[in-house]
Each structure stands twice: as structure tokens, then as C-alpha cells.
Structure 1
Amino acid sequence: MSSIYVAHRLFAAHDRALAAALADRLAAKVGAERVFLPFCDTDEENLVAEVKGRRLFELDRERLSRLDAMVAILHGPSLDDGVCMEIGYAAASGVPVLLLSTDFQTYSLAENGPPLDFPDPLIQAAATRVIRVPRLGPPPSSREQGSTHYTEFLSRNRTQIDTALDATIESLLDLPAPDRRSTARGEGGPVYVEGSPYRPWDDDYLARPCTNAGHKVALSRRFSTCDPLVGALDDLTAACGASRLLADVSGPETPPGTALLIGAALASGVRIAAFHPRPTYTHAAGREPNRRNLMIQYAADEHLHDAEAVRAWLAS
């Protein structure tokens, strides 16, 4: 049975609790059998597998391949790379994606640039709808006995969350049906090169080896065009139609737009290489060491650490 996938950051109790509250309200409307909540519904804490991280990736990818819709919870300037990868997979598959945020900030690529809901315009461009509830609930009309200004502040936050969850459920039930797309890709397309947003935009450290090897190259446009959302849609289309994706995943987390393109490329049958010259690892009980995020790790066909490895991958 197809389902609604609730994507969220897994690594803190408050994030899992918020996602569980959303899943529970949604299940009351559509039935628990149609709601998939990662970590909970894969029983991640108790799952035993020979290579647990890979098995978790396989279970999530199997779910991603048969969705009616996705709702993703995103907050703040540092977005979870696994969630962004899942958004890209759903969007490239023609599955409607709803994004929920209570972030009170907006973002732009220049001081006076157009406002964006998220730091990378790809996140907003890939979404079918964005639900933003940025303001606290109203202050109480009277103070209850024993309350403090901290408990009142907590109450206002809970009201804000309740409003956001209610708006999300209402919008989810009104999403369009999936528009399934073919994932067949030819070998004649360009190499889509996604450089790091933390390096100069004119740096061709990844593009140059591709052109030197005789490959056509497609470069990201969203950071340099006057309309970043239009540029982001162009980037998504180009990455899904490429023969290969070469992406720099350097940073505290894989940059959110890069993670989204990796998910979109995976859904589209594009060969993926993650360039990560200084890898770091995450560890969890019963799980093999992962290159920070297991969804990014196993979505990529190759992990490249230097220019020689890039050239070898291009020649393969």
C-alpha cells in the first residue's frame, strides 16, 4: 500500500517527538497503515542487520519508491541532509512534497535579494507547498496560579506547534495525486557538477577534470541567476537528466541543496559520486561507521577523496 512519508531529523528526542505528533494526527485522518514514520516504523533502535546502516537505507528507499505524498519537517539554517536527500528523491519521482517550518527567519542569497523560505532555493523550488508558522501563539489572557513566564513561554510554543500541525494536516489532505515519472536515463547526457557552496562560485576544481576528460558539463545556476527559484528548478531538471552527478559533500553536513540533488539523481537512475576530501564519520549502536549520513553514503555509487579519484571515476 502506498503511504505518506514523514521525513524529519532523527537524532534528537524533540525532533522525533514532533514528527510522532504529526504522524499520530495524520494517522487519525487517513489510517495508521498509510503513514510511515522513519526510526519508529523501521524500529531502528532494535533492528539487527549484518550491515545495519545499509539495511536502513534499503528500507527507506523501498518506502520512498511507493509514496502518495511526503511531508518534511525543516527548521533553521542548518537542514538535515538525510531529509533533504529524501525530498529530492520524492520530487524527482513526481510525488508531492509538503514542507513544514516554524522558523521565524527568511533567507536570501544577497543582502537585498528575494526572500526565501530556506537557505538553499532548491528546497523551496522542489516543494509542492510550504507551510510556515513563524510566530509564537498569543500570550495567555490571565496568569494561572503557579505559572511563571517560562511556563507561559512554553505554552505559546506549544500553541505555535499545534497551529503548524493542524495547518499541515489540512494541506496534506488536499495535495494532488502523484505524477509518476520515468527514471530511464541515457549515457549521452552531461556530467552535472555541484560544487561546494562554501567555496568560491567560480572555482572549477570539479568541472575542469570533467571537461579535460571530454565530458560535457552542466553547472548549477541557482546561486548566480537573478531569480534563484527559477535557477533552482533548472538545476533540478539538469541533474535528473544528466548521465552522472559529481557533488562536493564537504561541510558540517552535506549542503542541503547538494543532498536534495543526490536524492533526485538516485530516483532518476543517474550515476552519483560524492567528493569529500576530508571525510568525517557518525557512529550509532549496532551500526557500521557512516560518512555522516547513511542516506548520502549509500545513495552515492562512489566516494572520492582527491583529484586522481575523480579522474578515475570519470574514466570508468
Structure 2
Amino acid sequence: MDLLFIADPLESFKIEKDSTLAMMRVAQEVGHHLWFCQSRNVLWKDNLVVADCQSLLIKPSSTSWFELGDVQSKALNTFSAVQMRTDPPFDIEYLNTTWLLSAATRQGAKVFNDPAAVRDHSEKLSITEFPDLIPPTLVTRELSAVEAFHKTYGDIVIKPLDGMGGMGVFRVGPDGLNLASIVETLGENGSRTLMVQRFLPEIADGDKRVLLIGGEVVPYALARIPQGTEIRGNLAAGGKGVAMPLSTNEQRIAEKLAPILNQRGLFLVGLDLIGGYLTEINVTSPTCFVEITNQSHFDVPHFWLKALERTIS
């Protein structure tokens, strides 16, 4: 198979734990051919969606770990599969790329995740489709609504809808200290929508990342546990990642969502669960392949590749 990865610059990869690199390695090991480009290299030309891409060889060295070939212009529908692995934020250029990728799917390209499904799926707002699984939640631009929510629940978390890696997440305790200032700053004085949720003390046990691949559930989660005085478990915010088997409740939630999301074209999904509550559904560039594999010995990259091969066969 010829696999195209649309990703961030290779030089930016954290090679000791990068999930995209783990995908590349396992695909190369079984004989598939790798290609690479950035989203800026996807274009409409001569009535086709093409990528100005390069062949990619993964090498064992930890310093010079990749080798790229000459740039070639190849139609996306000539690849066996196209992996869109560009990290958020989901800005206008990300949106433009999804529109080009949608055009490519109309021309027969197999893109994962499906660009229309990604475009229609807000990683934070999507949880509202499953109200029985989520904590008390408010979505608003109005300070008065946040103040009323705080009065009801006393201890809350406020976050922007387009954040990633725990960026912009604030906790406001029962004293309400700086509530108005936080809402005004994050919400840019009412011009941006915020999500507010009841604080879940179970975060002390970890923000669990559960992976869904091809409609199936990876049986281990990565609990991202806050360190020190932090409330954020995100690894980017200094959280400690600990792989552990799914609890009965986590398995139930994952098995409920897996077939629904896969049917929509969301082949790879990362659920975030805190204390048995669903808090996010990540579809742009889910991670934690390496951490789960290294600690549980469940081979997530191999699981991903087998699911991909079945899907495109």
C-alpha cells in the first residue's frame, strides 16, 4: 500500500512518543510505502486534488530518523489511504484543508478521518449529543449564565471551545475568585463561546484517554494524572500518563460510541473520560499510542494498521 501522511513538520515530532510516527513505523515494517506532506502542500490543480509530497523512509537512528525523497505531485486518489494527522487548533486553514480533502474523497480518495465528519464534529461540543454521559455542562458567551452555573455547582471548570492540550482551562472554586475576569478574558468580552462544567474531583485519578479504532475499542486507557497543584491531566500540561485496563463503565461508554462514530467516518477517535463522565471526543489527531503500548504491551499501532487494512481492502 501507498500511505500518505499529512502531518506537521517531521522535525517537530517528539520521536519518543509520537503516535503518528508509531503509525508510520508499523506500516513501514510490514512493507507499506510511506509518503509525507504538510497541509500547505495539498492543492487543487488540473481539476484534481493533489499533494506535492515526498517518499518517506523511517530510519532507526534517534537523531537523523527520517529520509525524504524528491518532491512529486501525486493525486490523492492514487494513494491506498490518506492520513490527516495535523494537530489542532482547528483554524480557517485547517478548515480549508478539510474542504480540499472532501473534494479528494469525491474523486475516490480514502481519507482518515473523513474530512466532512471532522468538519462537522466539534471536539468539545460533540459531547452534547450524549447528555446521559456528560457532567453538568453549560455552553455560553454570557457572564451572567456562567455566574448562575457557578452559584448552582460551586466548583467549576471553564475552557475555550478551540483549546488543546489543556490550554486555557481554569478552575473557579466556591469563593468565585476572579470568575468575571476569567470569563471576560477567555471569552474576549463576550465574543467567544465557552464551555463550563462542574469540577470533577475524580480528575485526581486521571483524565482517561480511550481510543476507538475502526469501530473497535482499545482495551487500555491512558490515565493522564495531574501533578502537584495542577488540575489539568494533559500530558502537554505536565500530567503523568499511566496505562490501565478500562473499567466496566468506561468499556460501556466506549462500546456505545464506537460504532456510531465509526459509521460517520471517524475511524480514529480519542474519548476523554473523567470519573466515568465523557468530557471530549477528539477526532483531529488523537494520541497516546506509544504510552499505552509501552506500559500495557497491547500493540496499539499494530491494532490501528490491521483495522486500516481491513477498511480499505
TM-score, reference length from structure 1: 0.32
More strand by share: 2
TM-score, reference length from structure 2: 0.32
